[in-house]
Structure 1
Amino acid sequence: MNLALFDLDHTLLPIDSDYEWGQFLCRVGAVDAAEFARRNDAFFAQYQAATLDPVEYLEFALGTLAAFEPERLAALQQQFMTEVIEPAIRPAARALLQKHLDAGDLVAIVTATNHFVTAPIAKAFGIEHLIAAMPEIVDGRITGRLHGTPTQGQGKIAHTKAWLEGMGKTLEHFDAVYFYSDSHNDLPLLSIVTHPVATNPNAALTTHATAQGWPLLHLFND
């Protein structure tokens, strides 16, 4: 059996679901648009520059979720999927996932974006296993705090290994381990798998992948 791991934003999706969720909340009037957009844009710029404090950002995002009743959150989540995510899912991404599923590989999405935003996206792709930043939930409500540690950078390695250990497996259990990502922020995990694939790579990852002889895959050039 092989293991196939996938980043989500700009890898399987041609958009950043985390950023787009914030834009969506502003557009539908669920948050103070000017203030939220200012902070969200600043965090997004930090992410692109690899200077983001993941806990600070996640607790900003999760704090926004905590302001809503669960029923309202569920309705917003469904509207977001219908209006933003489903139109962005491309056949090439589905086909790549299906290739690994048809081969009998164990497939998982490993993303720094929080579980609330990404769980329905993984379901839409038909992927059972999702490794994502977990919100703390108390009495059925998101508190605004992060549960555990971020799933970013080195955190993707730790969370992936913990997920595998829960199934009695390690990375060494598999004949081949693939990881598809667009970002240099994922170099820690890309560097320890047997088959790193720079997928829709940003400039920094393109340079690194080319130097290392890693394959470059462009899913969204159509």
Structure 2
Amino acid sequence: MALAIFDLDETLIGGDCASLWAREMVKLGWADGDSFIAREQELMRRYSSGELAMEDYMVFTLSPLVGRTAEEVAHVVEPFVEDVIEPIFYSDATRCLAKHRAAGDRILVISASAHFLVSAIASRLKVEEVLAIDLEEQHGHYSGCTRGVLTYREGKVSRLRDWLHEHDETLDGAYFYSDSRNDLPLLQVIDKPHVVNPDPTLRQHAQQAGWPILSWR
């Protein structure tokens, strides 16, 4: 049995859950329409090019949640995942998950999106173990701040190493599937890295390193 680790956005699903959630918050009236979406997209473009400070993205996109309870947010996240996210699950991704389950592998999703989103989506894929960006709560309400090390770039490696220690696991024979150059720090410490629909920078690195390149639809 090995560890099979999956990125979420553009790897297991054909989209970015944080961007789709930003649009959902506008629909809910929690965020201010076109200006909110335009700023979110600007920050996401910087993420895609590897230039983003994730803290800046989180501060902005968490602002509509300030003062809301986790229960209030979960109440609207569940139908959002069912209506918006489930239709964009990659069939190839679900088959890969099934293959690892059949092999007895332990499956972990690790994502640079908020934990409440990632865990709800992973649950629909029958994956219960998740590492994602944790949010701070004060007096039972979201504060708009994050908590702990962010699961982004080198932060994914740090959080994963803590998780391995906590669960008495190792990376021996481990798999990791990702689409993004931002995951190179983690891909480089994994025994069996796989790139999925990679961005140009990651594709070039994978070709040079001889990593498998997958096209999931």
User: Normalised by the shorter chain, which TM-score bucket?
Assistant: over 0.9
Given residue 66 of structure 1, which amino acid in structure 2 is its aligned partner? V
TM-score (norm 1): 0.92
Residue 104 of structure 1 aligns to a residue whose secondary structure is coil
Tell me which residue corresponds to 2:208. Answer: 211
Whole-angstrom distance in 1 between the partners of 2:130 and 2:12: 13
TM-score w.r.t. the length of structure 2 is 0.94
| CA distances 1:51-108 after superposition (whole Å, capped 9, x unpaired) | 1111121122222222434454223212311221111123221111111111111110
After superposition, where does 1:1-222 map in structure 2 within 5 Å?
1-171=1-171, 174=172, 176-220=173-217
- Letter of the 1:201 counterpart: P
Aligned-partner Cα distance in 1 for 2:56–2:135: 13
Deviation per CA, 1:141-187, whole angstroms, max 9, x where unpaired? 2111110021010011000110111112332xx3x111100011100
What's the offset of the Cα at 1:213? Answer: 0.8
Q: Secondary structure at the match of 1:68?
A: coil
Match of 1:216, as an amino acid?
I
Q: 1:41 to 1:67 in 2, by over 3 A?
A: farther
User: Does the CA-based 8 Å contact 2:133-2:150 persist in structure 1?
Assistant: yes
Asked if structure 1 preserves the Cα contact closer than 8 Å seen for 2:112 and 2:133, the reply is yes
SS of alignment partner, residue 84 of structure 1: helix
Say if 2:67 and 2:141, in contact at 8 Å, map to a contact too.
Answer: no
- In structure 2, how many angstroms separate the alpha carbons of the residues matched to 1:96 and 1:140? 38
The farther-off stretch of 30-39 and 71-80 is 71-80
Q: Kindly, what percent of the aligned residue pairs are identical?
A: 35
Letter paired with 1:144:
G
Letter of the 2:79 counterpart: Q
Comparing 35-44 with 179-188, greater Cα deviation is found at: 35-44
Q: How many residues align?
A: 217
CA distance in 2, matches of 1:188, 1:74: 31
- Structure 1 runs not aligned, ≥5 long: none
